[in-house]
Amino acid sequence: MAKKNVLQQLKEEEKQKKKDLIIDTAVSLFSNKSPGEIHLKDISGELGISAPTIYQYFESRDSLFVEIFTREILKLAKYVEEKMEKENEKSLEAIIRFSVGYLIENEGCFQILNYFLVKRNISPDILRRARNSISNFIKIIEEGFKNLAIKGDTLMLLHTLIGSVAGAILIYRNYPSFDTKNVDNLMYKLALLNTRAFKQDSIEKE
């Protein structure tokens, strides 16, 4: 019985390694294409395997993408929490500043976040898994909202803020005639202006 357990564990570990390799390969393609433009044959081509082989590990492209989403959002949340602790900054502005900085530096995370923010016709199961994945990150931003003592539908405000910040990054990340440094500064400023607008609005309503 013990030998069977060991063999089963080794088999599961090997399967997870292959899944991780598929995920890493898909994320590496995000630097040149958006997730919506990437198909399983593109990923399998990079790995030198057939596309049907990927179905042994993921039931669909969106099933693969939601696992990427889960992994990348966990990394984002961990990064923001560590920055908050290290710099002793827990304000809403700091949370957004840390988040935007991470998204600027990590193309894979930005691309997969944007994919699930704008894509329609996602199956209910995939959508549920994506929402569960982002819940921990949303809780971090909620802490920033609590410090503002905002009244009313804070969840709606929270989603509006996330959408406006993501929109600022999406629109200006490839802004023509700007070099990378200027674009990064522009996205930082727009994100913080959005955050301060929410803060000011909450103060005026008190």
CATH code: domain of residue 32: 1.10.10.60
- Residues 90, 150 within the same domain: yes
- Residues 190, 133 within the same domain: yes
Question: In degrees, to the nearest 5, what angle opens at C-alpha 161 toward C-alphas 90 and 179?
Answer: 90
Is the whole-model pTM more than 0.75?
A: yes
- Residues 179, 105 within the same domain: yes
- Residues 49, 136 within the same domain: no
Q: What is the pLDDT of residue 147?
A: 66
Domain that residue 9 falls in:
1-58
C-alpha 101/C-alpha 111 separation (Å) is 14
Last residue of a domain, one of 21, 40, 58: 58
- Residues 157, 187 within the same domain: yes
Per-residue model confidence as pLDDT tens digits over 170-179:
777 766 666 6
Q: What is the pLDDT of residue 180?
A: 65
Q: Are 37 and 29 in contact (CB under 8 A)?
A: no
| Total domains present in the chain | 2
Q: What is the pLDDT of residue 206?
A: 46
- Give the residue ranges of the chain where pLDDT is below 70: 1-4, 146-157, 174-181, 183, 194-195, 198-206
- Residues 81, 53 within the same domain: no
C-alpha 139/C-alpha 45 separation (Å) is 38
Q: What is the pLDDT of residue 204?
A: 46
